[in-house]
A = this chain, B = another copy of it.
Amino acid sequence: MDPDLSTLDDRLDAAGVDAYCLDAASTEPNQLYLSGFDAPDPFFTAYALTAPDGTGELAVLVSGLEYGRAKKESRADAVARLADYDYHERVGEYGEREGTARTYAAFLADLGVESALVPDRFPVGVADGLREAGVGVGVDGDDVVESVRAVKTDEEVEHVRRAQEANEAALRAAEELIAGAGVADDGTLTHEGEPLTSERVSEEIEVTLLRHGCALDETIVAGGADAADPHDRGSGPLSADEAIVIDVFPRDKASKYHSDMTRTFLKGEPSDEIRDRYDLTEEALEAALAAVEPGATGADVHAAACDVYEAAGHPTLRSDPTTETGYIHSTGHGVGLAVHERPGLNPRGGALEPGHVITVEPGLYDPAVGGVRIEDIVVVTEDGYENLTDYPVELVVG
């Protein structure tokens, strides 16, 4: 895929610099997106506007170990080796940090680059070193490449869709495990005579994802009080009659794009309190989804979810910024090469555009009751959105 980098060109023009630079491994999504090269260790990428015709030239500087693969696989117009710029000699003479910066400076000089924009999270050691070597380095506080990444092509949406299909298979496996669980006298769920734990359900999800070509960093399977903390991954035996939040965010191994979905399951009988919270969360989901369309802002969508919760008397971070119960996170985020990326559905979220792939994920949390969250993933279209999630919204299973 060749990304449309015209927004980046404009940003560089506006900043009056020659190039945009990255120094990161491909685990950093901007690096993977811009270079089109997947490497486990950091390498240097320069997108330079120094060609006489003004077209952008993409150049990468890699170790000898990555050179052959970078020539074959990267999007770069030019691939160079560290050894081409006397990296080892420079490190020998000036030490690792200064030697590396001098190597990069020589590479940039070769491209005719005298000044560069870098993202907020560019390494300060390299930035300071480039500055000492005479290269102007400005920080792009707005992260223009992440904004470019936020708008997906049809091909990228297909990557997310494939990850989401695997996600649904994995969630189905988890649901079946919980639905089919036995219940011990003390209320603990059981599977094949053993307590059914968060870890066991996570394992089932992760194995299913692997069988469907996906990897993942973490899975959340959190029951009871664990689920009242949205970032708690859950541990130990699960119980009947408690809400179990399952949040799965796999990465398709081939494309590296993610999906993200949450359902809350309960085996047994929900209390009125849990049932009310679940129904209200489904209502908040529907309200937030109804607000998704081009031109609406992430703030609008977040407000729609907050409205539902506040009307029912639950605190939100909008009504009480320090609350630790109620609706204590934002309503969603972009999904792509990163699980969490732009745009944000939060009080500062800007305008939605066609091609934005976003989660919508309201939830309610209270250690005394447990947690409830329902999360769909959708793509913003010309006239609203398409829901990429095809999974029932049902609390009680089995």
Which residues of A are in contact with B by a Cβ distance under 8 Å? 27, 39-41, 64-69, 81, 83, 88, 91-92, 95-98, 118-128, 137, 139, 141-142, 203, 206-207, 210-211, 215, 217-218, 229-232, 317, 321-322, 324, 328-329, 339-340, 347-348
A210 → B minimal CB distance (Å): 5
Contacts of A118 in B (CB 8 A): 124
Closest to A91 in B: B348
- Pick the contact of A39: B128, B231, B339 (CB < 8 A): B231
Contacts of A207 in B (CB 8 A): 207, 210-211
Docked CA distance A339–B229 (Å): 30
Contacts of A40 in B (CB 8 A): 217-218, 231, 339-340
Contacts of A69 in B (CB 8 A): 229, 231-232
Contacts of A215 in B (CB 8 A): 206, 217
A387 → B minimal CB distance (Å): 25
Main secondary structure of the interface of A (DSSP, over half): mixed
**A97 adjacent to B141 (CB under 8 Å):** yes
- Whether A83 touches B124, Cβ cut-off 8 Å, given contacts A141-B97, A207-B210, is no
Docked CA distance A83–B122 (Å): 26
Docked CA distance A222–B119 (Å): 35
- Whether A317 touches B97, Cβ cut-off 8 Å, given contacts A207-B211, A210-B203, A322-B83, is no
Contacts of A92 in B (CB 8 A): 348
A104 → B minimal CB distance (Å): 13
Docked CA distance A76–B64 (Å): 41
